[in-house]
Amino acid sequence: MGDAVRGCETMPERSLDLDILSYLANADAAVGVVALHQALHKRHRISQATLGRRLLDLDRRGLTVRQSNQGRLLTAEGRAHVQELMQKTLKRQESDAFLHSLSGDSVEVLLEVLVARRALEREVARIAARRITDADLAELWGIIDRQEQALTQGSSGSQEDLRLHTRLGEIAGNRVLQTALRLVRQQSQLTSLFAFIRYSRGPRVVSDHRRLVSALQTRDPAAAALAMEEHIDNLITSVEAYFRST
């Protein structure tokens, strides 16, 4: 799917787009803006003018096409995009359901594991700062760029996050630390939780990673360790803040 299709919608826009495209997908013929507004107004409380602007944006992205004065039809790319949006929405709903199902005790365990991970990864960063090469740095910057792109497209960026932290362990080369961290990451609850937190924190995760790799680039072990510690502290703060609000 082309870059124009992917876009950079906000969450409310993505929700509105999903409803627009889903309604068109289920329609037997072209749908006019008035009929579409009547169908969606109760859920979104938007003006007809606002809806018209969203439709023009969907036209420009090749997801819908105007059928003379009869209204809009969904394109093939639009149908594919509906499926993509529905999958992302389902993942978010599953993450929400998972988080709400956690007991207080299990939340405490997750936070304790994060504290342990902070100690382990701080040492990984300290060692990696002494061993890192220019080629390693280029690879890490590339991972961060891909994570930023994934977040822009509505993904949690979890694969890129795991790759960056795993690669740092490989660069450090301490097999005991690598084994300990691998055991921590095998926790299925942690995987789901971190994916949700990464998605909700979005750009902050990327900025954390950029500060971390910038510190590694100085080859200063103390600076790298501090950057990693601050990164995990930010994650702990986000987890605590989420559960205080639920």
Interval 69-127: pLDDT, tens: 889 999 999 888 888 877 777 766 665 665 555 555 567 777 888 888 899 999 999 99
Whether residues 64 and 119 share a domain: the answer is: no
Of the chain, the percentage scoring pLDDT greater than 70 comes to 78
Residues 168 and 215 in one domain: yes
Residue 90 vs residue 139, higher pLDDT: 139
Residue 144 belongs to a domain: yes
**Segments forming the whole domain that contains residue 61:** 3-86
Sign of CA dihedral 42, 46, 49, 53: negative
Query: Could you tell me if 181 and 120 lie in one domain?
Result: yes
Q: How far apart are CA 111 and CA 190, in angstroms?
A: 10
Question: Is 156 found in the same domain as 67?
Answer: no
93 is a domain residue = no
* Residue 96 included in any domain: no
Structure tokens at 192: 């789901």
Instruction: Give domain status of residue 180, yes or no.
Output: yes
The answer on 64 and 13 residing in a single domain is yes
Q: Which of 30, 55, 86 is the last residue of a domain?
A: 86
> Of 26, 59, 86, which one is at a domain's C-terminal end?
86
Query: Residue 11, Cβ neighbours under 10 Å: how many?
Result: 9
Q: Are residues 31 and 108 in the same domain?
A: no
CA nearest to 25, candidates 69, 62, 80, 66: 80
Q: Looking at the predicted structure, is the pLDDT value of residue 7 above 70? A: no
The first and second tokens of residue 178, run together, are 């690598």
Q: What percentage of residues in the chain have a pLDDT greater than 90?
A: 42
Domain count, the chain: 2
Residue of higher predicted confidence among 126 and 148: 126
Specify the higher pLDDT residue, 89 or 181. Answer: 181
Q: Give the pLDDT score at 224.
A: 97
- Indicate whether 54 and 119 sit together in one domain: no
Residue 196 in any domain: the answer is yes
Closest CA relative to residue 195, chosen from 227, 159, 220, 171 = 159
End-to-end CA distance of the chain: 37
What does the pLDDT look like over 190-215, one tens digit per residue? Answer: 555 665 665 565 568 889 999 999 99
- Residue 171: inside a domain: yes
Query: Contact at 8 Å (CB) between 36 and 71?
Result: yes
Q: With cut-offs at 50, 70 and 90, classify the pLDDT of residue 27.
A: confident
| Within a domain: 175 | yes
Residues whose CB falls within 8 Å of the CB of residue 58, separated by 6 or more in sequence, listed in order: 17, 20, 21, 64, 72, 78
CATH number at residue 112: 1.20.120.530
- What is the model's pLDDT at position 199? 58
In a domain, 219, yes or no: yes
Name the pLDDT band for 2 (thresholds 50, 70, 90): very low
pLDDT surpasses 50 at 6: no
> With b meaning 16 or more CB within 10 Å and e meaning fewer, what string describes 153-163?
bbbbbbebbeb
Same domain flag for 205 and 241:
yes
Are residue 73 and residue 160 in the same domain, yes or no?
no
In this structure, the answer to whether residues 45 and 149 fall within a common structural domain is no
> What rounded mean pLDDT belongs to the chain?
82
The CB density around residue 120, as the number of other CB atoms within 10 Å, is 20
231/211 Cα distance (integer angstroms): 9
pLDDT confidence tier of residue 188, bands split at 50, 70 and 90? very low
CA 236 to chain centre: 17
Are residues 114 and 80 part of one domain?
A: no
The CATH number assigned to the domain holding 66 equals 1.10.10.10
